[in-house]
């Protein structure tokens, strides 16, 4: 494998509390009421810097915040808040404050209702901080009876959720960076990492089971063994290198060059991201939702995913999602393809690293 890549998750926001912050969508009650308050300067930020600021604000303001997202056009962080006191704190830190209606607690309750009453194969739901709603999506396999059931549950949530249909079918992208092979299957390497001082790489959990052997060539000698795999629930796996081979901390850009990866970070709604995979190579898109739950069918439900507009196809599974030198996510699944487009979901990298006790390297 010549090049290795790394994935990343929403904009860089560290910690579970921040994920909740950025992930929780908030409705636009008084959308622009406090974005341009006199006497305060809104800072122009990179997506990564906006993620760091969001992390600091959620720690300082706690329950007063209700989600955040990155406005790529103005290069600013927009923070949803529940009252004027929290809005003041956001302004003082250089962000845009927006007073909204739905709290994180209310949105979490809405997600729990969906889990309890609408666990239907071919559906997903994710928090959208731009609209302050839970965005519920049904794929083409959801029949009329299931659609009616789903519609009823969403309607019962009032302004906290919205339902839409997608033309594709949600499924893991089984069979992408560089290709990795096991038996008759193919996936993509996500990022090279270090665990206990030894070189490993991470990929999607649905690609294989612990103990499986992996090669960088179809039918080639093994270069690694999968030591841990988590799917469903999560979708990440750890492979330990067992042969002498290069393992640079970079992502293959399929143009003769590579993107160096220096760190892992959280995704933020509005963040521009890039995916590399062995089937469709390199494609760009935007983060549209956080903390997404996807029901792939057959009991395969994965939670805590990043939702994006980046296309992907079978074989891209496990591949890198990144923003500059920051690893964001690992390709899980979605609908559509790179001809017609679609929706895709990614396992956040920071969560995988924490579970394995590994780091980018």
Q: Which residues of 31-40 are buried (b: 16+ CB within 10 A; e: fewer)?
A: eeebbeeeeb
The domain boundary, picked from 48, 69, 99, lies at: 99
Per the structure, the complete domain to which residue 110 belongs is given by 104-361
- Let me know whether 212 and 237 are in one domain: yes
pLDDT recorded at residue 342: 83
- Let me know whether 64 and 210 are in one domain: no
Closest to 5 measured CA to CA, from 277, 279, 301: 277
Q: Is the dihedral of CA 60, 65, 70, 76 positive or negative?
A: negative
- Let me know whether 137 and 80 are in one domain: no
- Let me know whether 73 and 122 are in one domain: no
- Let me know whether 88 and 148 are in one domain: no
Which of these is catalytic: 128, 178, 228, 235? 235
Residue 126 in contact with residue 290, Cβ under 8 Å? yes
pLDDT recorded at residue 219: 83
Q: Catalytic site residue 206?
A: yes
Closest to 294 measured CA to CA, from 158, 114, 117: 114
Q: Catalytic site residue 235?
A: yes
- Let me know whether 224 and 330 are in one domain: yes
Q: Is residue 1 one of the residues assigned to a domain?
A: no
- Let me know whether 91 and 113 are in one domain: no
Which of these is catalytic: 124, 276, 278, 317? 317
pLDDT recorded at residue 173: 59
pLDDT recorded at residue 48: 82
Q: Is residue 56 one of the residues assigned to a domain?
A: yes
pLDDT recorded at residue 15: 27
Q: Is residue 304 one of the residues assigned to a domain?
A: yes
Q: Is residue 31 one of the residues assigned to a domain?
A: yes
For residue 242, the domain's CATH number is: 2.40.10.10
- Let me know whether 146 and 186 are in one domain: yes
pLDDT recorded at residue 40: 85
Q: Catalytic site residue 317?
A: yes
- Let me know whether 271 and 157 are in one domain: yes
- Let me know whether 70 and 150 are in one domain: no
Q: Is residue 54 one of the residues assigned to a domain?
A: yes
Q: Is residue 9 one of the residues assigned to a domain?
A: no
Q: Is residue 2 one of the residues assigned to a domain?
A: no
The domain boundary, picked from 84, 99, 114, lies at: 99
pTM (two decimals): 0.80
Which of these is catalytic: 3, 181, 200, 206? 206
- Let me know whether 329 and 181 are in one domain: yes
The domain boundary, picked from 76, 99, 122, lies at: 99
Strand partners, 259: 251
CA pair distance 327, 360, nearest whole angstrom: 8
Each residue's pLDDT, cut to its tens digit, for the chain (361 residues) gives 433 333 333 332 222 222 222 333 222 333 333 445 667 889 999 988 898 898 889 888 888 888 899 998 999 999 999 999 999 999 999 999 999 999 988 999 999 999 999 999 999 999 899 999 999 999 999 999 999 999 999 999 999 999 999 988 898 754 335 678 887 688 999 999 999 999 999 999 999 999 999 988 888 889 899 999 999 999 999 999 998 888 899 999 999 899 999 999 999 999 999 999 999 999 999 999 999 999 999 999 999 999 999 999 988 999 999 999 999 999 999 998 999 888 899 999 999 999 999 999 7
- Let me know whether 83 and 114 are in one domain: no
Q: Is residue 136 one of the residues assigned to a domain?
A: yes
The number of folded domains in the chain is 2
């Amino acid at each position: 494998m010549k090049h290795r890549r790394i994935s990343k998750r929403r904009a860089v926001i560290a910690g579970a509390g921040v994920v909740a912050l950025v992930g929780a969508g908030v409705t636009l009650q008084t959308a622009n009421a406090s974005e341009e308050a006199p006497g305060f300067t809104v800072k122009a930020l990179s997506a990564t810097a906006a993620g760091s600021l969001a992390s600091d604000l959620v720690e300082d303001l706690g329950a007063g915040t209700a989600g955040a997202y990155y406005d790529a056009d103005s290069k600013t962080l927009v923070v949803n808040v529940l009252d004027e006191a929290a809005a003041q704190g956001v302004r003082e830190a250089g962000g845009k404050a927006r007073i909204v209606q739905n709290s994180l607690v209310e949105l979490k309750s809405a997600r729990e209702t969906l889990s309890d009453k609408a666990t239907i194969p071919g559906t997903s739901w994710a928090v959208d901080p731009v609209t302050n709603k839970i965005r519920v999506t049904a794929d083409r396999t959801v029949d009329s009876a299931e659609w009616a059931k789903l519609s009823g549950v969403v309607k019962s949530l009032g302004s906290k959720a919205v339902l839409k249909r997608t033309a594709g079918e949600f499924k893991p992208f089984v069979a992408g960076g560089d290709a990795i092979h096991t038996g008759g299957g193919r996936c993509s390497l996500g990022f090279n990492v270090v665990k206990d001082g030894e070189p490993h790489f991470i990929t999607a959990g649905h690609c294989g089971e612990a103990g499986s052997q992996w090669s960088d060539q179809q039918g080639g000698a093994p270069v690694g063994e999968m030591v841990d795999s988590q799917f469903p629930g999560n979708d990440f796996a750890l492979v330990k290198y067992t042969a002498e081979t290069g393992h640079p901390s970079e992502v293959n850009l399929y143009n003769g060059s590579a993107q160096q990866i220096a760190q892992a970070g959280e995704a933020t709604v509005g963040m521009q991201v890039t995916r590399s995979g062995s089937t469709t190579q390199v494609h760009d898109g935007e983060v549209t939702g956080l903390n997404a739950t996807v029901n792939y069918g057959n009991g395969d439900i994965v939670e805590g995913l990043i939702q994006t507009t980046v296309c992907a196809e079978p074989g891209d599974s496990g591949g890198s999602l990144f923003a500059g030198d920051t690893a964001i996510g690992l390709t899980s699944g979605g609908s559509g393809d790179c001809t017609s487009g679609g929706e895709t979901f990614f396992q956040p990298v920071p969560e995988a690293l924490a579970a394995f006790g590994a780091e980018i390297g």
